[in-house]
Amino acid sequence: MFIVVPDPAVARDLRIVVGSLARRLRQLHVASAEDEALSFIELGVLARLARDGASTTTRLAAGERVTSQAVTAALRELVPRGLVRSAPDPDDGRRKVLTLTDAGRAVLAGREERLSSRLREVVDGLDPAERECLAAAIPLLERVADDL
């Protein structure tokens, strides 16, 4: 019988490589003038609204694991720019229902295309076995991210 002992280096190495990947994605000079001005939290709010649909400040904050105040500050930028629409909640007039506008979708789509295009170039440069290994790791990385 084999006993598997957790290797602390795996956790450390994963943190380092994921951090490096995230930094490189943020640093890519492929941003348009429209999304260069968006902060990380603003992009997160747009992406979450695109993924989850209409939401409230509280749900957005919980989903992004930030404070409601951080989301409120982001919305002060996004709503006037026409990227997010804010309307009274029909069930509770004290709350606002937030939705992504067509302009917000367009900003996300353009950014996604530019980032995905660059990532495709890099992944296409891998050999088939490396691409297969990378594809197999994605669900596991998602699970690690969800469990953090």
| pLDDT band with cut points at 50, 70 and 90 for residue 112 | confident
- What does the domain layout of the chain look like in residue ranges? 32-115
pTM of the model: 0.71
> And the tokens for 128?
């088939």
Q: Percent of the chain, pLDDT > 70?
A: 91
3-state helix, strand, coil in the chain (%, to 5): 65, 5, 25
What CATH architecture applies to the domain 32-115? Orthogonal Bundle (1.10)
Tens digits of residue pLDDT in 73-82: 999 999 999 9
Sign, CA dihedral 113-119-124-130, equals negative
> CA-CA distance, 58 to 50, in Å (whole number)?
16
Q: Percent of the chain, pLDDT > 90?
A: 57
Query: Residue 103 above 90 pLDDT?
Result: yes
